[in-house]
Structure 1
Amino acid sequence: MALYLCLPLLAVLLQPVLCLYNCSSDYARTPDSSDLVVECGTSMINLEINLCTAQWAGFNATDLALNGNHNNIACQGSVNTSVNPPVIRYQLPVNDSQDNSCRQSLQIVDEKPDPNGPFSSFSVIQSVIIRGFIDSPSSELGLISYSTDLYYHFSCRYPLEYLMNNTQITASSVSVATSENNGSFIDTLTMSVFNDSNYNYPLVVPSTGLEMRTKVYVQVKAVNLTGNFYVLLDHCFGTPTPYNMSQSEQYNFFTGCTTASKTTVTSNGVSKVAQFNFEAFRFVQHRDQAKSSIYLHCILRLCEPSKCQQILGACSNQRRKRSLSPGVENSGSATISLGPLYTAAEATPNAANYSNSMTSGCDGHDITGLIVPLLSCWVLVAGLF
C-alpha cells in the first residue's frame, strides 16, 4: 500500500525519495535559503540542511559535501530524522589548519568601528570571517545544463576585539560570556585574580579588606579558543565606579607602551594567557569612606601571533600607528570586569620589596607591553584617608 501511494508522486514530481523520509508535500519545491541553518560556535560551526527539499531536487545526503570535498567521507553530513523535517547535519572546525580536512576560507579583515559604540576612538578594528559552502557534484560539463545543482553558501563573522565590563567578583575569579548571533570568542575569555606571582592561589579578600600596597596579580586567559590567536592586553585602568562611556575619573595602569611605576606586565601577546600585577591603592574621593573601591578594566584584543609580535615590536621602535597601537579600542571589542576587592586601612603597607611612596592611584614598573580586550575589576580600599 505504501508503494502504491508513492507511485503517483514519482509520476508527477519524479522525486520518489520524498517517500523514504515521510516528507510533507510542503517540501516538494526547489531548495532556498530558508533550508539552511547556521550556528557560529566558538570552536565549531554547525550547519543543517533540509533533507526533504534536497531530495526533492534529486539528491541524497551522500551527494552533498562541505567545500566540494565529495570524496572525503568526513566532509559529508549525517541524517537526523528525529526532527521535522529531517535534516542533514554538518560540523566544521573554526580553524584552517592542515588537520581540518574540510578546510574553509578564513580571512581577517579591517573594518571601521561603530561611531557610536564603545570603540569609536579606534581608527580600525579587525574581524575574522569564515566562509564555506555545501554543494552537490557538478551535474554536467559544458556551457549549459538542464539539471538542478545545489549550492548552500554560509559565512560566520567573529569580531576580534571585546569589551568585558562590570562583572563583580568577591572571590578569586570571574568568567564573562556574551552571546552574539554572528558568533563570538568572548565566552572563551576569563579573568582571575591571585595573591602569588605563580598565579596558583586565588585571591581571597578578607572582610576588612586588603592592606594597602598588597600586590594583586591579574590573569586574562583564553580557553577552548582556536590556535590562530593570542591574547594581547592593550589598555588597563581603574575607576572608582563601574565602567561607563562617560567615565572621566580613571587611573591608567598601562596604555600601549607606557606603564605606571607600580604596575608590572609579566606576560602579554605571546600566548593565550596575559598577566600583570599592581599594588592595592585608593581613590582620593573615597577619603570619607571606610573602604575605597576600584574597578579594574582592560581592553584586549585577540590577534594572530605574527600580528601580536608586530604590535609589540612597535614599542621598541616607538613608531606605532594608531590602528595597530595598544591602548586604542577596536570594533568588535568586549569589556570584562572584576570586583569588588577590599583594602584595609592600616598605617603599614603590606607590599613586599617596594620602598617607593604610594600616590593617589595605582602605579607600576615601566615595562614594554601591549594590551587589548577590556577587563574590569572593582577593588574596595578600607579606611578613612
Structure 2
Amino acid sequence: MHWFNFFRPKPHCLKSFGRSINADIAKDEEELFTKAYEAFEKKEIIDAYKFFFNSLMNYKNGLPNKNIILTQGKESLKFIIYQGTARINGFTTNKRLYAEVTMVKAKNANVALKRYVLERNYQFTYVNYCSDGNYIKLKLNLDNITMTPQKAFYPLRELALNADYDKEHMLSEFEQNELEDIDHIQKLDDAELHVKYKYLHIWINELHRKIQTLPAEDSIGMQSFLYLNFLFKIDYLLVPKCKMYQNMTKKLQDYFGEDEILPEVKNAELAKYILSLEKLSFEEFSKNFYLAKYTFSQIEKSSYDEFVNFVEDSLVKLRWYKNNRHPQIIPTIYSYIALYALYNYGLNPAARKLLHLYTAVIYSDFFTDLGCSGYYDTQKNKFLKNEIITQIEDIVSLYKHRYKLLEAFGDDLDFSSLNDFSNSYFSALKNLNFHEA
C-alpha cells in the first residue's frame, strides 16, 4: 500500500510557502520562555515544561495551530509535537524527559536502511536510533536535574528535524512505501497540485527562453542567476517535499559547496536536473506534496545585518550587469535576492512577511491562480498600489510592539515599473530598524 493512501482530505486552509513554520509564534513567547526558565530554577519541572511547550505553540489567524498537544497527568506531562512527517510522542516527569518518533516497521527495513540508521547515530548530538523489535524509532532521553529551556529546546529540535528529514529520506531512497505514524499529514487537493504543476512548466519554458537570449560569450554568471533563481522559486512557491525536495537540496548544496568545480560545469548540472523536472508526469510530481504542521524552523536564526549585507552585495552585481547593457537579467537578480534570503536566512517574522509580500507582487499570476492575493496586474502592467501599501502597514503594525522604531515604507515606493519597484523595495528593506525595545 502506498503511503499516500493514509492521507486524509485537506480542510480549507491558508496556503503555505517556503520552509518556515508558516504560522505565527505566540505573542507572549518571550514571556513564556522566561517563566519556563524561572520555574526550572525553582525545580517546578512540570510547570516549567508547560510554559516551555506553550512558548513553542504557533497560531494561524489568532487561533492555535495545534502543533503541540499537552495532556496533564498526576505526576507527568504528556506531549505530542508535530514536525512535518514526524509525530513526536513523549512525556516528562520531575526526573526525566523522554520523546520518540516511530519511523518504520523493523521487519520492513532492508540492510541498506539499517546501515543508514547506524551511520546516522554518529551524526547526532542528543538523539539516537533504536529498535523495540517491532519498530525502528528515533528517541531522546534527558535528565531533568539541571534542565533549562535551552537544554530542552535544542535536543527536541534535533529530534524533530532529523526525524522529519529521515522519514522523507527513507521514502525516497530506501523504497519505504509504508512509513509509520503519518495519519496527521494532509494531501493537497488536485486543484492546487494542478496549479503548481502548470507553473513548474511555465517557469521552465520561461527559463529556456531567457537562456536563449543570453550572449554567446560571458554569460556564465547570468546563467547561474537564472538556474538558481528557478530552483529557489520552486522551493519557496511550490514547496515540494520528499524526493523532489531532497534532490533539489542536494543540487543547491553541491553548487554552493564545491568551490573547485568550474561555474559552467555547475550550471550544466543544474540544467540537467531541471530537465528531469520537466519530464515529471503529473502523477510523479504529485507524490512530492503534502500539508503538515511544523514546530521548529530548519533554518538557523540570522541577524538582519547579515541580510542587509547580502542585499548590498547583490545590488553591486546587479548594477554591473545594468552598466554593461544586460537588462534582461535585472528582474531575475531582484527575484533571486528575495528567494535566496527566504531560503538561507532565518529572519524575524516581520522581515519574512515583507519579503513574502514582494514575491506576491512579482509572481502575482501564480498567487492569483492559487487563490491567494496577487498585487500586480500583468495584463495591464499595473500595480495594486493601495493594497501593497496597506499590506506593508499591516505587517509593520503587527510587530510594532516588538520593534518600536520599525516604520512603514509603502508611500516611498516607486511604482513606475517592476524594476523601479524592486529597487525601491530593497532600498527600503535595507534601512528598516529591527532593534528591539
Compute the TM-score of the two structures, normalised by the length of structure 1: 0.26
* Normalised TM-score (structure 2): 0.23
**More RCO (CA 8 Å, sep 6+):** 1
Structure holding more helix per residue: 2
Structure number with larger C-alpha Rg: 1
